[in-house]
Amino acid sequence: MSFAKENGALVSYRNGEKLVIEPWGKDSLRVRATKFGKFTGNDWALTEKVPQTEAKIEFFEKDHWVGDGIIDKREYASITNGRIRAEINFVGIISFFRDEKLILREYYRSYDGTISQGSRCLKIVNREWKGIIGGSDYKLNVKFDANKGEKIFGMGQYQQQDLDLKGCVLELAQRNSQISVPFMTSSLGYGLLWNNPAVGRVTFGKNYTEWIARSTKEMDYWITAGDGPKQILENYTSVTGHAPTFPENLMGLWQCKLRYRTQDEVLEVARAYKKEGIKIDQIVIDFFHWTVQGDWKFDKTYWPDPKAMVDELHSMGIKVIVSVWPSVDRKSENFYPMMEKGLLIKTERGADQTYDYQGDCVEIDPFNPECREYVWNVCKKNYYDFGIDAFWLDNSEPDYGVYDFENYRYCAGPALQVSNMYPQMYSRVFYDKMKDLGDGTVVNLLRCAWAGSQKYGNVVWSGDVPSTFQAFYEQVQCGLNMGLAGIPWWTTDIGGFMTDDVNDPDFRQLLIRWYQFAVYSAVLRMHGDRGPYNIPPLDNRDWGGGYLHTGQPNELWSYGEDNYRIMKKYYDIRIEMHDYIKSLYDEASTNGAPLIRTMFFEFPEDKKCWELQDQYMFGGDYLVAPIFELNKFEREVYLPEGCSWTLTSTGETYAGGQTVSVDAPIDYMPVFKKA
């Protein structure tokens, strides 16, 4: 092993691998390695300029037991940046220390190792590079020792019940309702970003942690130290970017359904809300308002004058957002021009098809700047120039017909290497241009994200999830972990996406419980595919805005007078909290703090709070306890120690540090305000 100091970084060489550790932000280090001799120059999620830091680099020797009572001297090196220090031993194993306490160490069970004398012949190394047959790149496997008692959070959104990810296996890949944002926060006071958009896997095992990239040119991760999740997230967003300042006129109700089929339907709904005295901030025009996928324009049969529609909505103070998909049907007027220019995703074998819902489609390649320019120019002409305010970038994973990532290729390389960054690049088709053209913050709606997506004006929703209480429970966990992965603008389809029968009283109870939760979340948004599907299509064509089915009405008054009264009550609560919600959005844009927060985010010293996942904090003031079961009208709530709490339904005040049982009739979700 050889060590050197180069340009303020610690560099080591061993067995053809170049390893570089350098300071990168407050109390943080970036760790890279390659077998190619030099790095690609890709910073991936580390986009922000950070203050230059002078790290302390040392070279020294330590005693090493080599057997038979013999002690030998071996070379070591270390680099210190503030509170974090990395130490490399003579076989390249890296150990990380926060305030000189070990927090993370690479796993190694091979010859000449010092970690486990009893298993030194296993030949398991800390960084395993396996060449891909027939190619120049590598499959990379990086292992770390497991820490007893450690809890792990963040990593984006996975449809499961576990908030604590210790013991979980997570696919590093984007799917509908699965969002890989590879930043983890540890209860031991550190955070780690796997700064690599390759498809792979992470296992937070009891015996070791394992990060795998199925195809890559280099290892790249960033690690930071802090006193707790607030400081860790602040360090993380300072190097990956902060969310912009959220517009005040979008903090109320967003109205949506699958799907408004005509401009008259949109205007009728908007006028009805105005008549009811309910201000909606934004109305959403969903898919198949177009001719065919990839035309990116209104079907004039049902949308004869989009500008007049937008003008009337604007006169009511309502913003307009329209759905855009990345799929391009072979029947689209844009398919062959884009195919000829190389602006669509390539397949490695078989037919040129990546998506097959309602058409034979290939999706766009947003890694290609010419593609981004082409799509924006079409959408600007057909939407933005009519006054459309924002874009709903659906299917933004992208939603492949089959998730065979090894079969797809982008301008930037094989999908296996970069696919996780697709939703971020897709968002930039619109964000980059709108930021330059607009006079305010860009806010678009996406179904997926990656590390750093928070800086590109992305409201991320949790995807097409079932309308069940189990799915509802899982969405709260999803939102909390998304926040800890740096994505503060997060929302769900109220009531879930897939509903068989809107008249089912069990569904209506779920809808109310979900709606109550959504009021105490970042974005209050009505949406869903509401059955039964007994509404006839507008025409008999097999294309255009009239042929596809539509769901049942999904406005606040659509579910009966009693439910309307409850939703109106909670709508009023949302409006009353406007200034408070604005303060939370401002905080997110300053230090990365999410709007919905785990209990331990606000109370890291309270050990009980690290065990809770069925209640959360909405900002620093409100403790929210959703109802996750059918016909459940009371629940237990833990009140953190160190302060007192006032129940909003009765005004009764409770001391912290105890669990209390509270009533939860259908028109009330337990909420406590911190005194």
User: Which of 25-29, 114-118, 504-508 has the lowest average pLDDT?
Assistant: 114-118
Domain assignment present for residue 43? The answer is yes
Give the mean pLDDT of 585-593: 98
Co-location of 150 and 61 in the same domain: yes
Question: 383-439 pLDDT, tens per residue?
Answer: 999 999 999 999 999 999 999 999 999 999 999 999 999 999 999 999 999 999 988
**Cα separation, 587 vs 589, whole angstroms:** 5
Distance (Å, whole) CA 338 – CA 355: 16
Instruction: Examine residue 138 and state whether it is found in any structural domain, yes or no.
Output: yes
Residues 139 and 256 reside in one and the same domain: no
117 and 203 share one domain:
yes
Do residue 578 and residue 625 come from a single domain?
Answer: no
Q: What is the average per-residue pLDDT within 259-263?
A: 97
Specify if 152 maps to a domain: yes
CA distances (Å), origin 39, targets 2, 20, 42, 127, 673: 19, 10, 8, 17, 51
Last residue of a domain, one of 185, 216, 240: 240
129, 86: one domain: yes
- Residues 579, 521, single domain; the answer is yes
Q: Please check whether residue 225 lies inside any domain of the structure.
A: yes
Q: Is residue 390 part of a domain?
A: yes
For the chain, give the percent of residues with pLDDT over 90: 94
Residues 6+ apart with CB under 8 A from 136: none
Task: Assess whether pLDDT exceeds 70 at residue 54.
Answer: yes
**Given a cut of 90, is residue 666 above it in pLDDT?**
yes
Q: What is the pLDDT of residue 120?
A: 60
* Residue 270 sits in the same domain as residue 121: no
The pairing of beta strand 390-393 with beta strand 444-446? parallel
For position 439, what pLDDT does the model report? 81
List 394, 529, 602, 606, catalytic entry: 394
Q: How confident is the model at residue 528 (pLDDT cuts 50, 70, 90)?
A: very high
**Inside any domain, residue 135:** yes
pLDDT surpasses 70 at 607? yes
Q: State the CATH number of the domain containing residue 520.
A: 3.20.20.80
- Considering the domain architecture, whether residues 579 and 602 belong to the same structural domain is answered as no
Predicted local confidence at residue 649, as pLDDT: 98
Whichever domain contains 153, its CATH number is: 2.60.40.1760
Q: Which domain holds residue 132?
A: 2-240
pLDDT of 284 over the 90 cut: yes
Q: Please classify residue 87 by burial: count the beta carbons closer than 10 Å to its beta carbon, then call 0-12 exposed, 13-18 middle and 19+ buried.
A: buried
pTM for the model stands at 0.97
What per-residue confidence (pLDDT) applies to 111?
59
Choosing from 365, 397, 399, 474, the catalytic residue is: 397
Q: What percent of the chain has pLDDT over 70?
A: 98
Q: What is the mean pLDDT of the chain?
A: 96
The verdict on residue 591 lying in a domain is no
Q: Does position 233 have pLDDT exceeding 50, yes or no?
A: yes
Same structural domain for residues 108 and 164?
A: yes
Choice among 17, 464, 555, 641 that is catalytic: 464
Task: Name the pLDDT band for 70 (thresholds 50, 70, 90).
Answer: confident
pLDDT (tens digit, 9 = 90+) per residue, 108-150?
A: 887 555 544 444 678 889 999 999 999 899 999 999 999 999 9
- pLDDT exceeds 70 at position 88: yes
Quick check: bond before 259 cis, omega within 30? yes
Grade residue 201 by pLDDT with cuts at 50, 70 and 90: very high
562's enclosing H/E stretch is helix 561-576
If one counts the domains in the chain, the total is: 3
15 and 148 inside one domain:
yes
* pLDDT tens readout for residues 627-654: 999 999 999 999 999 999 999 999 999 9
- Contact call for residues 440 and 216 (beta carbons, < 8 A): no
Residue 185 has pLDDT above 50, yes or no: yes
**Active-site residue, 352 included:** no
Cβ-based neighbours of 180, under 8 Å, separated by 6 or more = 155, 156, 170, 171, 172, 173, 174, 420, 450
Task: Confirm whether 215 is domain-assigned.
Answer: yes
Query: In this structure, are 131 and 103 located in the same domain?
Result: yes
Predicted confidence at residue 72, as pLDDT, reads: 84
**Residue 650 belongs to a domain with what CATH number?**
2.60.40.1180
- The rounded distance, in Å, linking the Cα atoms of 3 and 10 is 7
pLDDT digits 0-9 by tens, 310-364: 999 999 999 999 999 999 999 999 999 999 999 999 999 999 999 999 999 999 9
pLDDT, residue 117, reads: 47
48 is catalytic: no
Cα–Cα distances in angstroms (integers) from residue 71 to residues 68, 78, 634, in the given order? 9, 22, 66
Q: Please give the structure tokens belonging to residue 119.
A: 């298993």
Average pLDDT, integer, range 481-498: 98
Domain end marker among 206, 240, 274: 240
Q: Which of 210, 240, 270 is the last residue of a domain?
A: 240
346 and 394 both lie in a single domain:
yes
Is 539 assigned a catalytic role? no
